[in-house]
Structure 1
């Protein structure tokens, strides 16, 4: 038994490379199976009431908190022709539906799959990769902004060859575009395409490589007679009665790579992802924080839209320490919601707001695996924003976050 647990610990990073949210716990035929995980954590930040991408904003007068970050309960069943997955998330904020989909597949293999219902958008790597297996506490700022809560409702066709091209995976999805909690507020649908490759047995089975590319083609309905476009030095207001009801572009493209090497010092894992495109947003205001100004909409926007060209990326490095139960974590991510604008121009008389500010985050910490089910994570995030001409953002704000998390899987 001890040898079995040790094997799981040592090869934990390898096992999780294939952990996708858009799948049942196993494709072996089985009746009802229940799995899940619980994440409970304590956090401390530099200032009370900050806006944060590390588990949500802090309360107005609080700079520390205990929270249940995720409490997932997943029920699935697989028979000869189909699979069904139903997952909820129970935290101090209540119970929310996370996944509810049916998959149809061929009886003899899973080469073609049709998924229908509520599922993770098949864009890139980190969106579909389960939070229960991810070494780092949260997804990067850019993905939390453009795809909050990761899910959408629609249908997806997947293709994964089972012989010569088994390293290949293709997903094409059509979704509402309004996300997890909302009804579709227009007649348009968004299309997502994902192409990925994975090679698991290189260099005497010590090297594992994955990479891929994704595209998102969508739109957001404009609810007013005006919208703003980026002119390189700020925003230009465009006004015409015909603009009300127009669908403004929401387009992303991205690439990702994952490299894992099982060396004498312990497993080394490097994961990186880049995404860019056009994101419809709004102006930051007293009621809309800067962080939320570029976030994707779950309801029809009530104010003029801002079309922003954005870029974002992350790099995650995990190093197992001397094949022990300890692993060191190092991460860096950048999100620039307005890549055409220099930070020293934000806040001038050019219609720019806090929604245009670039943020970068340096994260570092450590994990300890008590067993294959129980994990402790200690992690600190140094969050940096470039100085602007805006009153509250003329220097780096104090919004670093320290997290201690305990997770149990079953």
Structure 2
């Protein structure tokens, strides 16, 4: 007797085959990407009742060569050992599970993401969040858990699709690790003919320390606001444009009756000590204001893309670094340290040129980060209470990316890093800290 599969099972098998054939068509563009109406058909639909489940992942083995032993390459994937100038590394190893439940009308209802990162240094959770979609008016959805903070463009781009190996120094310092625990309310009309369907307003509240710390260590929270426009194509002109404006209002609670900030003393800016009991439990500010734009030609062959972003504001760190702390700073004897507040500015400009073969791309990138915009060059001196935390860095990067097939690519990239000459020991001349990176990426 000949056996015939029930209709549901036949559809299940067909969906499985389509998944294997077309899974490479879906690429996670941002760290908070989800399935939408254009990608859900590429994923395995388990059932209408129980929703859909998909798996994806990528692995980034790489080799790096630094200009000198012990190069401080924290923003190029980690510092080199004292007697080391070359290394193999697993920069990232990600495995991600996505679950979506649809309504009877086919609209997204509930979404869930769990992602792990595994390297030679251990395994850790990178994403663990859920999202609920309001479907009465189709105007809002809320994301809760460990997710990407909705600020700017580069911070949100997934490392699986970025052409340059790492985010710029500015992005890594201001938000050490781009993910954090909190909640974001997003407003975006989702019906087909909505006039404002390309506008997205994100409003989030987060702990602030991100994955750089084990947990919240004070009462201050980061409030993030972002208004962005999805890519809009000018068909007659043959290019698309997208962009947004972002703002972060946050801070860190003082634990000591001592703090430091820049002030003008006798016509010269220097770090000034504030000793006041009123400082205790007051908030040392973190204020970021950013704008970003992305331009791209509409063609696939010889496609040109430009991404630019600028951020300025106030950042609170310590005497030795302007990086956002993951826990309350202490010295080697666990004694609490005071906060230092500085005004900063920074930006990046990325240009990507696809060649006639869409598998090949040339990458050019420039970024700068000035942690203390009040002082320059030789004005940065220990006698004024300044340190390496106040030194400006400019990075020029260039590389070549080749896609061998839909699941394997490699990039050859070189970072030329320049610091301003100051009176701070170790920064009186340009440091020998250029880095060469050969990175491969396997993904599914």
Structure-1-length-normalised TM-score: 0.91
In 1, the alpha carbon distance for the partners of 2:223 and 2:393 equals: 28
Q: Based on CA coordinates, which of the two structures has the bigger radius of gyration?
A: 2
- Contact (CA 8 Å) 2:219, 2:253: kept in 1 or not? no
Residue 212 (structure 1) aligned to one of 235, 244, 254: 244
Residue of structure 2 in register with 1:400 after alignment: 434
1:262-301 matches, within 5 Å, as 262-263=298-299, 266-284=302-320, 293-301=321-329
CA distances 1:39-90 after superposition (whole Å, capped 9, x unpaired): 1100000111122111111112110110001101111100022000011100
Alignment of 1:17-166 (within 5 A): 19-25=29-35, 28=40, 30-52=51-73, 53-80=75-102, 81-107=109-135, 111-162=139-190, 163-166=194-197
Match of 2:345 in 1: 311
How many equivalent pairs are there? 391
Instruction: List gaps (5 residues or longer) in structure 2.
Output: 1-21, 46-50, 103-108, 330-335
Question: Are 2:218 and 1:186 aligned?
Answer: yes
Gaps of 5+ in 1: 1-6, 285-292
Task: Quote the residue 2:415 is aligned against.
Answer: 381
CA distance in 2, matches of 1:371, 1:166: 34
Change in CA separation of 1:76 and 1:267 when aligned onto 2, cut-off 3 Å: same
SS of 2:303's partner is strand
How far residue 372 of structure 1 moved from its aligned partner, in angstroms, is 2.0
Query: Deviations along 1:361-387, whole A, 9 cap, x unmatched?
Result: 000010001122211100000000011
Structure 2 match to 1:287: none
Q: Distance in 1 between matches of 2:188 and 2:69?
A: 48
3-state SS of the aligned residue for 1:344?
helix
Q: Does the CA-based 8 Å contact 1:145-1:294 persist in structure 2?
A: yes
Q: By how many angstroms is 1:263 displaced?
A: 4.8
Distance 1:110 1:85, change over 3 A: farther
Secondary structure at the aligned position of 1:349 is classed as helix
* Cα separation, 1, equivalents of 2:224 and 2:274: 29
Give the 3-state SS of the residue equivalent to 1:142 in structure 2.
helix
Residue 355 of structure 1 aligns to a residue whose secondary structure is helix
Deviates more, 1:214-223 or 1:256-265: 256-265
RMSD: 2.1
Runs of 4+ residues over 2 Å off in structure 1: 23-32, 106-111, 198-201, 203-206, 262-265
* Distance in 2 of aligned mates of 1:235 and 1:100: 40
Tell me the equivalent position of 1:253: 289
